[in-house]
Amino acid sequence: AKAAQGELAAELLDDGLPAPEIQALLSHINNDIYRRVTDFCIAGLETEGRGAPPVEFSVIVMGSGGRGENFIYPDQDNGFIIADYPDQEHNRIDGYFMELANRLVTTLDTVGLPLCRSYCMAVNPLWRKTLAQWSRQLDGWWRKRNRVSLQLSNIFLDFQPVWERNRELSSDLRAHITAMLRQDRAFLRAMYQETSDHNVALGLFGGFITEKENPQYRGQINLKHHALLPLVEAVRLLSLREGVEQTSTLARLEALDDLGVLEANALEELQSAFVHTANLLFRQQIDDFRIGKKVTYFVHPKSLTKRTREQLAEAMKAIDRLRDWVRADVTV
Kindly give the interhelix angle for 185-194 and 168-183, rounded to the nearest 10 degrees. 90
Q: What is the pLDDT of residue 272?
A: 96
Q: What is the pLDDT of residue 196?
A: 87
- What is the C-alpha separation between 227 and 157, in angstroms, rounded? 20
Among 87, 172, 163, 182, which residue's Cα sits nearest to residue 135? 172
Average predicted confidence (pLDDT) for the chain: 94
DSSP summary character for residue 226: I
Q: What is the pLDDT of residue 273?
A: 97
Question: If you count them, how many residues does the chain have?
Answer: 332
Q: What is the pLDDT of residue 329?
A: 84
Q: What is the pLDDT of residue 118?
A: 92
Among 69, 89, 63, which residue's Cα sits nearest to residue 20? 69
Q: Sort residue 119 into left (φ over 0), alpha (ψ -120 to 50) or beta.
A: left
Task: List, as one string, the DSSP characters of 55-72.
Answer: S-EEEEE-HHHHHT---S
DSSP summary character for residue 25: H
- What is the C-alpha separation between 254 and 235, in angstroms, rounded? 11
CB 319 within 8 A of CB 227: yes
Q: What is the pLDDT of residue 330?
A: 81
3-state secondary structure of 293: coil
Given a cut of 70, the residues of the chain with pLDDT beneath it are 332
Q: What is the pLDDT of residue 267?
A: 95
Find residue 163's DSSP bridge partners: 59
Structure confidence by residue, pLDDT tens digits, 173-212: 999 999 999 878 899 999 999 988 889 999 877 899 999 9
- What is the C-alpha separation between 209 and 204, in angstroms, rounded? 10
Q: Helices (H), strands (E): how many in the chain? A: 13, 6
Task: List, as one string, the DSSP characters of 185-204.
Answer: HHHHHHHHHHTTT---SB-T
